[in-house]
Amino acid sequence: MILHIKNMVCDRCIMVVRQQLENIGLDVGEVNLGTATVQPEPDSEQLSQVASQLKLLGFELLDNEKDQMVGRIKSLIIEKVHHSDLADSHLNFSQYLSDGLNKDYAYLSRMFSEAEDTTIEKFIIQQKIEKVKELLEYGELNLNEITWKMGYSSSAHLSAQFKAVTGITPSRFKASQPGKRKPIDKI
């Protein structure tokens, strides 16, 4: 059985979810961002226990198809933005999501917007800006390098998008007090 889990955003999340499922006594197979495979199928008491244990850790067990699909969309976007290099990929997110979920993008977009009260495009932009904030805080790359790494066409485009989302420029953000990033699962 595949469990769909909201708010899994990193490798540590995968590790924590695996540990919790094993502590409950489930035989855990593959665990990825947003999903965990368990054998045999948990009974209703075990599912309730899973839901309550995950909730304590900031996760949520998704039990209906719409929530599961939205969770999968978010997981694919987070995986691509935060855990891979967007440089030179010229990634078309609509095609990427459509291919990854075997669904028409218009259907995915409509479902996401209804459930999240925002568009997939705005969610992608928010994720990219949070990644840019992270890279700025690290201080290892300059703005042109970040622009290239994040797949933006120009630093002017990145700066304009950054200011539209945060209200300040990337250079002002970098000079400001650290800690102004949002947790990925709160976007």
Total-model pTM:
0.75
In this structure, are 23 and 71 located in the same domain?
A: no
Q: What is the pLDDT of residues 101-110, one digit of tens each?
A: 999 999 999 9
164 and 72 part of one domain: yes
- Picking from 48, 63, 78, the residue at the C-terminal end of a domain is 63
- For residue range 133-149, what is the model confidence (pLDDT) as tens digits? 999 988 889 999 999 99
Cβ contact 149:87 at 8 Å: yes
Q: Which of 6-20, 32-46, 168-182 has the lowest mean pLDDT?
A: 168-182
Do 126 and 50 fall into the same domain? no
What is the CATH classification number for the domain harbouring 105? 1.10.10.60
Q: Are residues 164 and 86 in the same domain?
A: yes
Nearest to 34 by CA among 65, 55, 9: 9
**What sign for the dihedral angle of Cα 99, 35, 31, 181?**
positive
Q: Can you tell me the distance from the alpha carbon of 156 to that of 139, in angstroms, rounded to the nearest whole number?
A: 19
Task: Give yes or no: residues 175 and 87 share one domain.
Answer: yes
3-state secondary structure of 8: coil
pLDDT-derived band at 174 (thresholds 50, 70, 90) equals confident
Strand partners, 62: 4
Written as six digits, the tokens of 24 are: 């409950």
Residue 91 corresponds to which tokens in the numbers above?
């990634």
Model confidence at 45, pLDDT cuts 50, 70, 90, reads confident
49-70 tens-digit pLDDT? 999 999 999 998 888 888 889 9
Task: Flag whether pLDDT at 187 surpasses 80.
Answer: no
Which tens digit of pLDDT belongs to each residue from 71-84? 999 999 998 998 88
The CATH number for 23's domain is 3.30.70
Tokens of 11: 């490798």
Q: How many domains does the chain have?
A: 2
Residue-range definition of the domain harbouring residue 135: 67-186
Whether residues 53 and 15 fall in one domain: yes
Mean pLDDT value across the chain: 89
Residue 126: its pLDDT value, please? Answer: 95
Residue 88 pLDDT greater than 80, yes or no: no
Q: Quick one: 86 and 178 in the same domain?
A: yes
